[in-house]
Structure 1
Amino acid sequence: MRTIVVGLGIQGRKRRAVAGTDVVATVDPVAPADFRRVEEVPPESYDAALVCTPDAPKMEILRYLLEHGKHVLVEKPLTADEGELQALADLAVARRTSCYTAYNHRFEPHFVRMKEVLDSGVLGRIFHVRLFYGNGTVRDVYNSVWRDEGAGVLPDLGSHLLDTLLFWFGERIGAAGEDGFRVIAADRFENRSFDHIVLARNGDLPIQVEMSLVSWRNHFVADVFAEKGSAHIESLCKWGPSSFTMRRRVLPSGRPPEETVTLVQPDPTWAIEYEHFKELCAEGRHNIETDIWLNSVLGRLGRDALEAFPP
């Protein structure tokens, strides 16, 4: 598949490396590239584009590419109102193209393992779930010309966390737009925008979600507590070692037997996701319905956070 990379920041350079010899051209208005604007690339010279730009120009670039019958992988988050996103989905269907927003954590080995465990029912009824995602990029965001604004960490890391929950639990949190999340803490420790946020959800599936840009060791934790035991993820492959632990409940009480799988390996998600994208291109499928849900939830939570925790 003949591919172009639009945007040569950190993500764009990663995508270019993974796509390898598929890449026939690069586009960036500032960094050294073959073209300054995507419109300058001869349409007949490529089949797909990896869009790794800042948020503001994304929708215009996506519309141009889809109108010209090109498949698109775009870095998250894809921020727009529901009408714009639905129009994008309709355009992709009309042109028989794939428009795929990249959430590479879905391809993390232990995320896949967690989904398999949850789908199997071996844990019984899920009591509650806790997620933490932290990194130390607060100063990078502060120094950025476009990132330190609005709800800050919420669309950045929160989009990954909510997409992960959607991947694991599906309609239990995404049905009919009734997500049930609320903001219980939002802080600006070093940035103008939020650099630490905690969300909570009650009801049939209680969940707590914490995200932080002031975690000096990049880290991810997932804990699922259930009727017959629990399942736990500690770290991601890119920050390794990454472990998955299953514990079997002992009744009436006692130390549970546990099984742990630990991985020490480079991050496999980028390459797996690129192959997944090529499969979607062959089938002409998109995942914009996920973006519509995420935009609705993140937009509401962002407004709530800015109102409840003003500067």
Structure 2
Amino acid sequence: MLVIAFVLTAVTLAFLAPRSPPAWLSFADAVSGGGGGTERLAEGLPFGSHGQKLDVWAPAGASKSARPVLIWWHGGGWVKGDRAAYAFAARAFARAGYVVVVPDYRKVPQVRFPAFIEDGAEAVAWTERSIRRYGGDPARIAFAGHSAGAHTAVLLALDPRWLRAAGANPANVKAAIGLSGPYDFYPFDKKRSIDAMSAWPRPHETQPVHYARADAPPLLLVTSTRDETVRPKNAINLAARMREVGGLVELRNYEGLDHEEVVMALSKPFRGKGPVFADSLAFLRTAGLAPPPVR
């Protein structure tokens, strides 16, 4: 009972503090023990050509071999969000045995598509060059993200030209997880997608659904029945297209969860909302990205 009271007090204080919802979630996750067994090995490391920064998380303790790497892109409708606020997601995967890279990216209105995709590709290139020093294997990389971050993760996995342009090798990408992401949303009918995408002269290039291919990395596409921010049709349509072309894809449509609850379920306090984290780990293992044990 004391532990529960402590967590509830921490969450209340976080709500009162000037934090974004993901930031208070990371705070609640930390005080409830979600950070146990993990380390933030680097904070605010510069990468890329536009002043972007990233954090690196890993399990606490050495392993006999290099660990698979997961790059996590946060959501925020291309207009908000930052890497530090999503520490709860980084810690979850780090505790499971992965080296986790969490990059920032430029946002609307300062930039439009494809700037944030280019930033994502530069994060991948940095990871390939630099992750060995943090115990990661640059030849075994998975992408993951929520909402706008899922759009980046899945588009980079499906359309390899962005990675090649940044000097990254698409062959190193072994899997991608998209949580509540937009993949088939043209014509643009919401302010955020209009602001982020409509200036690009070839709108089909903004849509991951157009790049489904048989030789793409395996995809896990997660949506939920109560998501009114990014409609489930995005994941459903992309999954159907992947199957049509012979690609490897898993689709999860969680009953009763909304847009935010899907990503909340990665955190320790709210993991009971749905098996998002367990399903993500199972998918990564099936894709050949099982991590080595911690010594």
TM-score by length of 2: 0.33
Name which one, 1 or 2, has greater alpha-carbon Rg: 1
Which structure features the higher share of strand residues?
1
* Superposition TM-score, scaled by structure 1 size: 0.32
